[in-house]
Amino acid sequence: MTHQIAAATGPGSASASSTRPKATDTPKPEARATASAGFQPKPHGNTAIAEILRTYEAHGLVKCWQFRNEVEMAHAATALSWVYGEVPAVLTSIGPGALQALAGSLAAASNGVGVYHLYGDETTHGEGYNMQQIPRPGQGLFGSLTERMGASYTLHTPAALRDALRNGSAAVFHPWRPAPFYLNLPLNTQLARVSLRLDALAARPVWPRLPIPDEAALAAAAKLIAGADRVAIKVGAGARHAAVAMRRLAEASGAVAVLSPGTVGVLPDAHPHNLHVAGSKGSISGNWAMQEADLLIVIGSRAVCQSDCSGIGWPEVRHVVNINADPTDVQHYNESTALLGDAAAICERLAVALAGPLTPAKSAWLGEAARKKAEWMALRDARAGGPRCFDAVWRRQVLTQPQAIAIAERFCREVGALKFFDAGDVQANGFQVIRDDSPGETYTESGASYMGFAVSALLSQAIAGKGCYGVAFTGDGSFMMNPQILIDGIEHGVHGTILLLDNRRMAAISSLQEAQFDTDYRTNDSVAVDYVAMAGSVEGVMALSAGDTERGLREALAKAHAHPGLSLIHVPVYYGADPAGGMGAYGQWNVGPWSDGVQETYTKTLI
């Protein structure tokens, strides 16, 4: 079975789009091209598709890469689109391969990233069960799976290609919520010939700029903001493209900004209005703002439960100004003034309307915020720069996760490296520790918390037109979800580093169990793994041990950066009861024995 990801020669284009004349070109008779799609009755996939791609690649029309695992391939495609804006297509066969790619596409769906997914589908002529299809009678069963995840289309006849591509471009290039598009290709269908005008196929859509609310709605929102004493801005992922305008709004309104894990850097780390991440994990300053604010401005947020403390994160807020392009999300809260449209344009208009000196109450609010921020930064510095801890498993003094992350993120800023964070404790400590000053310095897949995303995302560097050196911050559990990066990274020429923080357990779950039940259960094992030896067994991988000191880790990071290929650095890290071992949690969450209290509070919450 061949697993491939096909990326176009130009950014933002679908496979083979370079064969299509520009929309402004005058169609010529020879523009009518004949496309043959071969579907051979082989249960393990469509070898004819591979042959067609081989021919197209030989003529420079597409570029294809093979991967050893479909989840890894889906993550690499997500990162390529998310980080570099180059939209690829994931191609796999029927059965377990397609199911794995579908599972991996959850990262793209959760973070609003457009990617094409092309899967083989089940037999189409009722010849009997096809190996690897869903083992029950029924029509279009695999298509029914993909349509649950998002926009889906089964290519039932060759002539349906035009309609399929139109549906696909609308999903992948959606103006405010891009998403994966699943195109299911029938198997066991013999070669067919179809004539199509290439210039009639769907092009990448060019969306008009979203309209903004009328003057009356903007004036009403500005009046509410001006009249409030303690204003907070919740910065969602939809605000990443509006960073400059959002900053102006925060300054003009006297508002503090609280961030989501994926929006760290939208305000510079040291900006006085930036109170850092807030939510179930959060920070001292960010969660203080959630508790004390009396008016909330939401920008581009879906208000997911962790970032919103399961709906009870704003107990003193009496009104919400919600800025969003999505007509459903903009109405998420009660007592809302909904401003539907482009976030950057709306923030700019509100900032102009609110220009002028701040009221004494707003100035006092910012003064309190500064003190809370100083408290958080002092804790962050202490945890990142404190003494090492004795670990019962490693039986020696080792670095903590905050220490290791802080050392590595400092190095990344020095060399201009991208940071990718895997799920779990590494991710949670990571978005609390990092000190980004602009969007796009860090990518943390917090939408689905997909273990193995970060290490797979390194592959995007080799595939992109102009890839950037990156460091994948991962735990031992997340790394083992996609260790084939060691092979594919060498095959495709990745220049990047896997920073493996090893605490020999699923620490995020262990700490959650201990916080709720005072003990952990079945979240670790007794099997020691020599990850340096594992990585070093792959020719071309530089495998390094960082040891147990800051100096050792910095030296390893420098060696890995100088190496022209893929590197892995193993770092033993602490897990235990010492609070210095992590950054802590500062919010509430509807989980386990905490649920009753959260639910009781939720029923009494105004917004």
In tens, the pLDDT along 317-340 reads 999 999 999 999 999 999 999 999
- Closest to 283 measured CA to CA, from 451, 139, 136, 402: 402
Domain coordinates in residue numbering, the chain = 4-200, 215-375, 393-575
In sign, the C-alpha dihedral spanning 373, 379, 383, 387 is: positive
Q: What is the CATH number of domain 4-200?
A: 3.40.50.970
The Cα 350–Cα 328 span in angstroms is 22
Superfamily (CATH) of domain 393-575? Thiamin diphosphate (ThDP)-binding fold, Pyr/PP domains (3.40.50.970)
The span from the CA of 245 to the CA of 243, in Å, is 6
Q: Long-range pairs for 389-392 at CB < 8 Å and ≥24 separation?
A: 389/574, 389/576, 389/578, 389/580, 389/581, 390/574, 391/503, 391/572, 391/573, 391/574, 391/575, 391/576, 392/576
Beta strand 418-421 pairing with 470-475 = parallel
15, 329, 412, 506 from 545: Cα distances, Å: 41, 46, 18, 21
HSE, side-chain direction, 13 A CA sphere, residue 417: 26
Select from 220, 148, 209 the least CA-distant residue to 184.
148
3-state class (DSSP) for residue 185: strand
Q: How far apart are the C-alpha atoms of 276 and 257, rounded to whole Å?
A: 7
Q: In this structure, is the dihedral angle defined by the CA atoms of residues 321, 325, 327 and 332, taken in order, positive or negative?
A: negative
Please enumerate, as own/partner, the contacts of 323-329 that have beta carbons within 8 Å and a separation of 24 or more. 323/297, 323/298, 323/299, 323/347, 324/238, 324/298, 324/299, 324/300, 325/175, 325/176, 325/177, 325/210, 325/238, 325/300, 326/176, 326/177, 329/301, 329/302, 329/303
* Matching fold, domains 4-200 and 393-575: yes
Is pTM beyond 0.85 here? yes
CB contact at 8 A, 336 and 322: yes
> How far apart (Å, rounded) are the C-alpha atoms in residues 382 and 399?
13
What are 154-212's pLDDT values in tens digits? 987 788 899 999 999 999 999 999 999 999 987 766 667 778 888 888 889 999 888 89
The structure tokens 């989840």 sit at 71
Residues with Cβ within 8 Å of 269's Cβ and at least 6 positions away in sequence, in order, are 435, 436, 437
The candidate with the shortest Cα–Cα distance to 318, out of 214, 231, 378, 236, is 231
Burial class (CB in 10 A: 0-12, 13-18, 19+), 415: exposed
> What is the C-alpha to C-alpha distance for residues 454 and 445, in angstroms, rounded to an integer?
8
Tell whether the torsion through CA atoms of 18, 21, 23 and 24 is positive or negative.
positive
Answer yes or no: CATH 3.40.50.1220 is held by domain 215-375. Answer: yes
Q: Apex CA 278: angle with CA 277 and CA 281, to 5°?
A: 95
CA 343 vs. chain centroid, Å, equals 20
Which secondary-structure segment (H or E) carries 30?
A: none
Rounded Cα gap, residues 351 and 349, in angstroms: 5
- Which 3 state secondary structure label does DSSP give 516? helix
Residue in the block written with tokens 């050392």: 407
Smallest Cα–Cα separation from 282: which of 300, 308, 256?
A: 308
What residue has token string 């929006």? Answer: 263
What residues of the chain score a pLDDT lower than 70?
1-46, 122-131, 188-191
3-state secondary structure of 375: helix
Residue 96's pLDDT is what?
87
Question: What's the half-sphere exposure (Cβ side, CA atoms, 13 Å) at 581?
Answer: 20
